[in-house]
């Protein structure tokens, strides 16, 4: 099975619109899915493209109350349906964990560049985990 698991365990502050850091590959089983500068790059198969199962979590607190929202972007564009949100009611002390889950497609012989983006209020990240598994 071709897959990549990445995580971030170093605390980081991410402003609204900022890219969530991905620091360390925990497991990589294929060269077609790689961690590259806070993004995951996945290559579609030569003849028909490829589908990938994406799943993970982002755990954080927020310095202000409001709507916290995380989205998965492919090549700079938000993927509809692969986003998660929660309302933060207590600034600085309420720990929130948002899931990311969905299936993405990369066209044949193309590279998809995937980033997690904070599309809500500013957040202070405690932990991020993200898994990409090629389905076919």
Q: What is the tens place of the pLDDT at every residue in 76-90? A: 999 999 999 999 999
CATH class of 3-134: mainly beta
* Percentage, residues of the chain above pLDDT 90: 79
Q: Tell me the domain boundaries of the chain.
A: 3-134
The arrangement of strands across the sheet holding 77-88 comes to: 33-35, 40-43, 111-118, 66-74, 77-88
CB contact at 8 A, 118 and 59: no
- Would you state the structure tokens that stand for residue 27, as one six-digit string? 């497991």
**Segment 13-67, tens digit of pLDDT:** 999 999 999 987 777 667 789 998 899 999 988 888 899 999 999 999 999 999 9
């Amino acid at each position: 099975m071709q897959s990549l698991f990445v995580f971030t365990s170093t605390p980081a502050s991410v402003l609204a619109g900022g890219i969530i850091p991905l620091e360390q590959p925990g497991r990589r089983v294929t060269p077609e899915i790689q961690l590259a500068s806070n993004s995951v790059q996945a290559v579609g198969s030569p003849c028909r493209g490829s589908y990938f199962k994406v799943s993970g979590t982002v755990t954080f607190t927020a310095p202000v109350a409001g709507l916290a929202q995380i989205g998965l972007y492919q090549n700079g564009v938000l993927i509809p349906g692969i986003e998660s949100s929660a309302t933060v009611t207590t600034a600085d002390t309420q720990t929130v964990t948002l899931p990311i889950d969905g299936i993405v497609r990369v066209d044949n012989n193309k590279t998809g560049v995937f980033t997690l983006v904070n599309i809500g209020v500013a957040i202070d990240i405690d932990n991020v985990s993200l898994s990409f598994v090629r389905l076919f």
